[in-house]
Amino acid sequence: MPTIPLLPAPVNLYRDASRSSQRMRQKEKRITRKTLDTLVHLPEFTITHFSIEQRRGESILHLYGKHNYDYALCPQCKSVSESIHQEKPRCVRDLDISKHRTFLHFISRRFSCEHCKHTFVERLQSIGFGHRQTERFQEVVYQRSLSSTHKSVAKEMWLDPSTVKTIFLRLAKDKLDEENQRDVKKLAMDEIALKKRHKQFALVISDLERHCVIAVLPSRDKESLELWLSNLSASKRNAIEIVSIDMWRPYFYAVKAKLPHARVIADRFHVVKQLNENITKLRRTTQRKSDKKVNEILKGSRWLLVKNRQNLSPKEEIHLQKVLGICPEIREAYLLKEEFRNIFEKIKNVEQAKRFLAVWILKAQKTGSRYLAKFVRTLQNWWEEILRYFEEGITNAFSEGINRAIRSIINRAYGYRNFDNFRLQVLAQHGYAHSHHANSR
């Protein structure tokens, strides 16, 4: 007996569509009641319903919240008030949900205190007074502004760039006020060029223990630093024990004037850097006076002569040998530079450092080089501060890395017209709050 194929049962398309639509509405209702409050998680509100608006091909989610409390605390007399003086609708932006731009609608209430007759707008934990966004939304804007321009954040989050800037600056100032409560024991001071052509410098002050920036000053002169130190409380000034500087005299005089108890240390990397700069001057002078053959060998040797020898590639080592073989004066200065660097890397005792540095000075003086003689004078002028490195072992290496990061901030923003905005950007990105967040991850 042949098998009869089973045919699909007849269907009523309109009836099935109606049932499907009803099931979807029921599902939406269940989602609203069971999960929307958990998903939104705003402690002051219960989400009663929502709607989805289609605008220019984009879905916008509107949430409607009801207050969980019928009272508020009077800010003047601190008593509880239940008397509502005025109500008006309010709408604020919240974090996106499922890629939907999300807005929260609720009734803003003004209360009248029964005790002192003061009228006041209730303060909400999730929404700041007069703000058009929730606190958590503004925090996301702030965090994204740390690594992107205000313009790109504005485009990504459907905001005006001026709104992003306002949010960032306000939160940066709030976080900076919290950071300023901390005592610092070890300071590092280093400059950064804001506009090299115009020789415009800023002073970056860092906490060497917490590895973060604590201040950015608009100038590297003595007066600016003295003013900043004077504005610190007496307890904060007394807490500072060590200051590492880059052998810039205005820093030294300002620290001695305002922090007479602090121990000043000449940063070892800046000491070696000054020696390298004198070797570079010697190379340039030699090139100007040399014939074509010597010039060809010296070409491209700038970094060879200042780079640590153990970091040279085999090709660079061959080139270096040619340079040292053809220029006795450069060879003499280079070998002394390597010897000087080894003293700082291998000697850990102050008395030993004194002896080795004294011998090194005699060797440098015997060469008769005016460039080495200039560096010897620098050593003698900063003798005590240089020797303190061997006691404390503290350097500005961290602040040098910070300077490179700050340079990227300047480049990303194509410069800053307003120094205070630049200062806040640096402190937000490299201050205590940011470093503490990075270390806790």
Tens digit of each residue's pLDDT (9 = 90 or more) over 140-192 = 999 998 888 889 999 999 999 999 999 999 998 888 776 666 789 999 999 88
Cα separations in angstroms, 357 against 307, 310, 373: 21, 22, 14
In the sheet that holds 242-245, the strands lie side by side as 212-217, 200-207, 186-195, 242-245, 263-266
Cα separations in angstroms, 168 against 59, 138, 172, 349: 27, 8, 6, 48
Lowest mean pLDDT among 22-26, 93-97, 391-395: 22-26
Lowest mean pLDDT among 51-60, 112-121, 380-389: 51-60
Gyration radius from the chain CA atoms: 33
Q: Terminal CA-to-CA distance of the chain, rounded, Å?
A: 74
State residue 87 phi and psi, 5-degree precision.
-135, 145
Name which of 189, 194, 263 is nearest 226 in CA terms.
189
- Can you identify the CATH homologous superfamily of domain 186-267+395-440? Ribonuclease H-like superfamily/Ribonuclease H (3.30.420.10)
- Condensed to tens digits (0 to 9), the pLDDT of residues 195-237 reads 766 578 889 999 999 888 999 999 999 999 999 999 999 999 9
Please report, for the chain, the start and end positions of each structural domain, with discontinuous segments joined by +.
28-132, 186-267+395-440, 268-392
Give pTM, 2 decimals: 0.74
Is the model more confident about 253 or about 416?
Answer: 253
- DSSP 8-state class, residue 327: -
Spatial neighbors of 119 by CB under 8 A, at least 6 apart, are: 85, 86, 110, 111, 112, 113
Rounded average pLDDT over 330-355? 95
Cα distance between residue 421 and residue 115, in whole Å? 44
- On the question of pLDDT at 31 being above 80, the answer is no
Helix ranges, 32-149 (H): 37-40, 135-145
pLDDT at position 228: 95
Retrieve residue 173's tokens.
């100032």
Cα distance between residue 309 and residue 318, in whole Å? 12
- On the question of pLDDT at 273 being above 90, the answer is yes
Name which of 92, 123, 127 is nearest 110 in CA terms.
123
For strand 186-195 and strand 200-207, is the pairing parallel, antiparallel, or unpaired? Answer: antiparallel
Q: Which long-range contacts (CB under 8 A, 24 or more apart) does 339-347 make?
A: 339/363, 340/272, 340/275, 341/272, 341/308, 344/268, 344/271, 344/272, 344/389, 347/390
Cα distance between residue 322 and residue 336, in whole Å? 18
